[in-house]
Amino acid sequence: MLQQDSNDDTEDVSLFDAEEETTNRPRKAKIRHPVVSFFHLFCRVSAIIVYLLCELLSSSFITCMVTIILLLSCDFWAVKNVTGRLMVGLRWWNHIDEDGKSHWVFESRKESSQENKTVSEAESRIFWLGLIACPVLWVIFAFSALFSFRVKWLAVVIVGVVLQGANLYGYIRCKVGSRKNLTSMATSYFGKQFLRQNTGVDQTS
């Protein structure tokens, strides 16, 4: 079923109707795609390690910068086009229609009548842990570079924040749905936290 958000020209669609036969596999905790899971973390973790150890690994700023940006670019492509689809059944992209209008599409694979058959719990944890933790680290690096006046590294860190933040936002949109749903979820969460702190009673849905 296709749903289109008229406000920002985005589409929330079901992913890969032609691949529904894969839903006959039971959901398991084991890792079904070990190579994909490895590369989901490899490039983004390697970029962070190179950034932290760059002054020990090489005296050349240009070499370190190019290495980090290459790792971040490979990670962006792999996570956007491969690991999200295989590990959690999500995918997002942009396309331009015949009128030249840009559309952002956010896909999620249909769940069968038996819950979550296509997604491994272990792979899902690995995917979301890597997707969320690494952008948070790059944001910390950005503040660190800014306050320590390491201006030459600030551009590199901003690339990390933008590329990994884009994937994080895209997959959250795939998971949650339209921007209205995302805003509603955030409002509901903060409302519950505020009510809990002020009354000691958790708000029920």
pLDDT band, residue 195 (cuts 50/70/90): low
117 vs 18: which has the higher pLDDT: 117
Using a pLDDT cut of 70, give the percent of the chain over it.
Answer: 68
Is the residue at 203 inside a domain? no
131 vs 183: which has the higher pLDDT: 131
CB 74 within 8 A of CB 43: yes
What mean pLDDT do residues 179-194 have? 56
Query: What pLDDT is attached to residue 161?
Result: 96
DSSP reduced 3-state for 60: coil
Query: What pLDDT is attached to residue 114?
Result: 47
Q: What is the domain count for the chain?
A: 1
11 vs 70: which has the higher pLDDT: 70
106 vs 131: which has the higher pLDDT: 131
Is the residue at 204 inside a domain? no
Is the residue at 200 inside a domain? no
- Interacting residues of 21 by C-beta distance below 8 A, sequence separation 6+: none
Pairing verdict, β 10-15 and 102-109: parallel
Is the residue at 10 inside a domain? no
DSSP reduced 3-state for 33: coil
Full-model pTM? 0.70
d(CA 23, CA 89): 11
Query: What pLDDT is attached to residue 7?
Result: 44
Is the residue at 148 inside a domain? yes
Is the residue at 7 inside a domain? no
Within 10 A of 138 (CB to CB), how many other CB atoms are there? 23
Query: What pLDDT is attached to residue 19?
Result: 44
Report residue 149: phi and psi, to 5°.
60, 35
Is the residue at 198 inside a domain? no
Is the residue at 45 inside a domain? yes
Q: Which of 25-29, 59-63, 74-78 has the lowest mean pLDDT?
A: 25-29
- The domain of 93 spans 34-110+123-191
